[in-house]
A = this chain, B = another copy of it.
Amino acid sequence: MFQIDDMKNIPIYEQVIWKIKELCLRGALKPGEKLPSVRELSGMIIANPNTVSKAYQELERQGVIEIRPGKGAFVHARPPDRADAGKQEGIREQLRRLVIEAIYAGLTLEEIKTWLEEEYAQLGGSQRA
């Protein structure tokens, strides 16, 4: 569930951030639910508690979770649906680079679109749109 693949050059704390966001979107982690403690999770993924703590703090800053010191970390109740213009532009920039790489990898527009739909569906996007 919290299995982290040590991917190539992607910082562990970012992988933790993405994994938890993914679990929240899939509904595997529900609003109000308690996350594993910093120590528990660091033990599970064999990482340093500081690394996990850094991920949790960034997740709180992004409004995904809420940290109650001494109590633990909890999935934030209010769903994240703000439309941040700056963030959206950053995502478009990422998309631009992804398309460049995709074309060089021999992928067609249709293939990418299919993947996109699959990933969106797996993240429960259909419930939102």
Contact = CB atoms under 8 A, between A and B. Distances in A.
B99 A9 contact: no
Contacts of A116: 95, 99, 109, 112-113, 116
A46 to B, nearest CB: 13
What is the total number of copies of this protein in its complex? Answer: 4
Contacts of A128: 103, 108
A1 B82 CA distance: 35
Contacts of A97: 18
Contacts of A119: 92, 95-96, 99
A126 B7 CA distance: 33
Nearest to A108: B129
Given A84-B105, A109-B120, A116-B109, A7 B99 contact: no
